[in-house]
């Protein structure tokens, strides 16, 4: 019994400039210390209503079914496919990064026949390219794209794809894990049917919840399924009955995480969406400029670089692992390495939510100047 008795855990206070989680406001930690209550307690139901209401504002939607799934962003991705795919359904996915590729895996496991629309990692996908494939496959059930590709730092334009999907039966599924709360995600205006995100990036709550919103069009598709949804845990018809007016028990809600998300969302509202987007844009530009000054080169396509996640190739002679490990251990700063084949080739530097402050750029620059010296 020695090992686990060895003392309290005192994790270091990191500046979290990786691809998420981001730093968490002290008010959010305080909210988590509120006493746990039951999953049907009127007070937790009110808290859930407030979360839904605030999420609708941030997703810029009127969708009734707007809630937080009791799992991380990956569970939101899975919910977005497992609820709508039936075996043999055609799904078109734009693939220009690690998380788009994961969409393919998730959709395939749900029984979909997936058509990949490929693009080089680091580039956006031309909307016309996706629309062309959709036209060639008129019965496509779902078109899936990643709004902010966390593996490459690329922002994908969605308006044209949404406008096309809206005209027919195809559902547009969008991964807004990295963008929500730091960039416009106009679910209704752009014609997105299913949009999921995560609690720990630009919303700056701890990881563990996946906000999701589902259009009436998508709910109709769900209700007219021939087979039951594979996943009981992620079944949106059951989640709707718990989050909606019926209040039917589905699972024991992670109430402490709800407290955290509620407080994180309140902080978003206090700042205001426009101001928040502007802050991410300005400081994202600033970070890119300063990193270029040190010899890093932007990896993502110009004009489509994410403000909250900057991808850069390393200056000659810089050892990826050594440099990141010095940043972490000597300066308490986390930045992200590359995923997949980009491992060792790029860094991913996040400026999300609470982390997105000029002083964090200063800390990083100061540390990097010493490390690269």
Footprint of a second copy on 255-274 (CB under 8 A)? 255-257, 259-260, 262-263, 265-266, 269-270
Closer by beta carbon to a second copy, 60 or else 108: 108
Answer yes or no: are the C-beta atoms of 303 and 114 closer than 8 Å. Answer: no
Please pick, from the candidates 34, 60, 301, 313, the single residue that binds a second copy as defined by CB under 8 A. 34
* φ, ψ (nearest 5 deg) of residue 67: -155, 180
Interface residues for a second copy in 14-33 (CB under 8 A)? 14, 16, 18, 20-21, 23-24, 29-33
> What x/- string results for residues 94 through 113 when contact with a second copy is judged by CB under 8 A?
--------x--xx-xxx---
- Which stretch, 59-67, 72-80, 182-190, 291-299, contacts a second copy (CB under 8 A)? 72-80
Applying the rule CB under 8 A, the residues between 327 and 346 that interact with a second copy are 328, 334, 339
Which residues in 132-191 contact a second copy (CB under 8 A)? Answer: none
Helix, strand, coil shares, percent, the chain, to 5:
45, 15, 40
Q: Which stretch binds a second copy (CB under 8 A): 8-16, 116-124, 139-147, 279-287?
A: 8-16
The minimum distance between CB 150 and a second copy, in angstroms, equals 10
Query: Does 313 participate in binding a second copy (rule CB under 8 A)?
Result: no
Residues 186-215 that bind a second copy (CB under 8 A): 198, 200, 206-208
DSSP string for 2-27: TGGGS--------EEESSSPPP--HH
Q: Considering only residues 157, 160, 163, 233, which one is a binding residue for a second copy as defined by CB under 8 A?
A: 233
- Number of chain residues interacting with a second copy (CB under 8 A): 82
Long-range CB contact pairs, 213-218, < 8 A, 24+: 213/55, 213/56, 213/59, 213/61, 213/63, 213/65, 213/66, 213/187, 214/63, 214/65, 214/66, 215/61, 215/63, 215/171, 215/187, 216/63, 216/64, 217/171, 217/193, 218/84, 218/171, 218/193, 218/194
DSSP code string of 326-347 = HHHHHH-EEEEE--GGGTTTEE
Site for a second copy in 267-306 (CB under 8 A): 269-270
């Amino acid at each position: 019994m020695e090992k686990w008795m060895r003392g309290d855990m005192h994790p270091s206070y990191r500046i979290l400039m990786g691809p998420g989680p981001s730093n968490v406001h002290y008010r959010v930690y305080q909210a988590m210390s509120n006493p746990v209550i039951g999953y049907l307690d009127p007070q937790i139901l009110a808290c859930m209503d407030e979360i839904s209401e605030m999420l609708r504002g941030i997703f810029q939607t009127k969708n009734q079914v707007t809630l937080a799934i009791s799992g991380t962003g990956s569970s939101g991705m899975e919910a977005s496919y497992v609820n709508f795919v039936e075996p043999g359904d055609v799904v078109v996915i734009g693939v220009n990064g690690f998380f788009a590729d994961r969409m393919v895996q998730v959709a395939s496991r749900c029984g979909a026949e997936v058509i990949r629309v490929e693009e080089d990692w680091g580039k956006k996908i031309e909307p016309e390219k996706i629309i062309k494939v959709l036209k060639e496959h008129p019965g496509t059930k779902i078109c899936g794209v990643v709004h902010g590709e966390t593996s490459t730092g690329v922002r994908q334009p969605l308006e044209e794809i949404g406008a096309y999907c809206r005209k027919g039966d195809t559902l547009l599924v969008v991964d807004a894990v990295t963008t929500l709360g730091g960039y416009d995600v106009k679910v209704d205006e752009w014609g997105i049917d299913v949009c999921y995100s995560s609690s720990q990036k630009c919303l700056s709550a701890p990881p563990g919840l996946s906000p999701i919103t589902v259009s009436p069009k998508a709910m109709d598709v769900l209700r007219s399924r021939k087979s039951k949804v594979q996943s009981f845990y992620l079944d949106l018809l059951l989640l709707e009955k718990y989050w909606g007016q019926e209040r039917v028990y589905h699972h024991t809600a992670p109430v402490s995480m709800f407290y955290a998300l509620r407080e994180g969302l309140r902080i978003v509202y206090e700042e205001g969406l426009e101001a928040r987007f502007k802050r991410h844009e300005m400081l994202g530009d600033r970070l890119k400029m300063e990193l270029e000054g040190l010899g890093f080169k932007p990896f993502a396509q110009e004009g489509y670089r994410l403000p909250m996640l900057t991808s850069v190739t390393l200056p000659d002679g810089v050892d990826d692992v050594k440099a990141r490990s010095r940043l972490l251990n000597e300066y308490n700063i986390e930045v992200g390495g590359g995923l997949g084949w980009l491992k060792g080739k790029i860094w991913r530097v996040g400026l999300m939510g609470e982390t997105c402050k000029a002083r964090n750029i200063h800390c990083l620059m100061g540390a990097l100047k010493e490390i690269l010296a």
